[in-house]
Amino acid sequence: MDFNRLFKVTFDQFVKGIVKLVLFTLVGCLLCLTIVLIPTVMGGLTRGMLRYVREGIEPEFDELWRFDDFLQILLLVVLGGIAIAIGLALLVIPGLVLMVWWMYALFFIVDRKMTFSQAMGASKRLVTESGFWNHVVVLLVMTVLNSLGSGLAGLGTLLTAPFGLVLVTNAYLSSAGPKPDASSEATAARP
């Protein structure tokens, strides 16, 4: 993974759309207060960032309350969260490994229309094949940035959270390659 290019592209994209990205993330965070909408918002943030990074189209607020892939995202959040929590309770390292392996699962659900289990497997393969430690660095950078951002009574997170979303979206796209066309996607999804 070319980190120099990854961070430069992410920074340029973030600065170009900073106002809309901050507002988009802020509205998403506010909608998460309802708890029921968390999977919807997660899917919407991912869809919006994918369109922005891939096509340069600023995210639209209506993405945040579309119920596309709601069940798959809910299953990913609940079952993946439980597995990661158990892994963190067991000497921390297993939980961290699962976090890295599954960091792109949401992208596979939204972008490639996979089930949560297919997405978890695809994310693990992607991370393993493109260099586990590269993705550890991406996750570590996001964690450090968001920790620093939350230091100013949480206000810095208004900048670090959307930057982190653009960063992880760029990392996903640079590692996963172009989206397959609909016919090969449908063939790949068959058992």
- Using one digit for the tens of pLDDT, what is the confidence trace for 115-165? 999 999 999 999 999 999 999 999 999 999 988 888 776 778 888 999 999
User: In sequence order, which residues have a C-beta less than 8 Å from that of residue 153 and are 6 or more positions away?
Assistant: none
Pairwise CA distance, residues 13 & 111, whole Å: 20
Instruction: Find the helix or strand (DSSP H, E) in which 165 lies.
Output: helix 157-176
Q: In the prediction, which pLDDT does 190 show?
A: 38
Instruction: Report the distance separating Cα 87 and Cα 74, nearest Å.
Output: 19
Rounded to whole angstroms, the Cα distance separating 18 from 96 reads 30
Domain boundary assignment for the chain: 3-178
User: Please, are residues 167 and 138 in contact by the beta-carbon 8 Å criterion?
Assistant: yes
Query: What's the chain's Rg over C-alpha atoms?
Result: 16
Q: Using 50 as the pLDDT threshold, list the residues of the chain that sit under it.
A: 182-191
Is the whole-model pTM more than 0.75?
A: yes
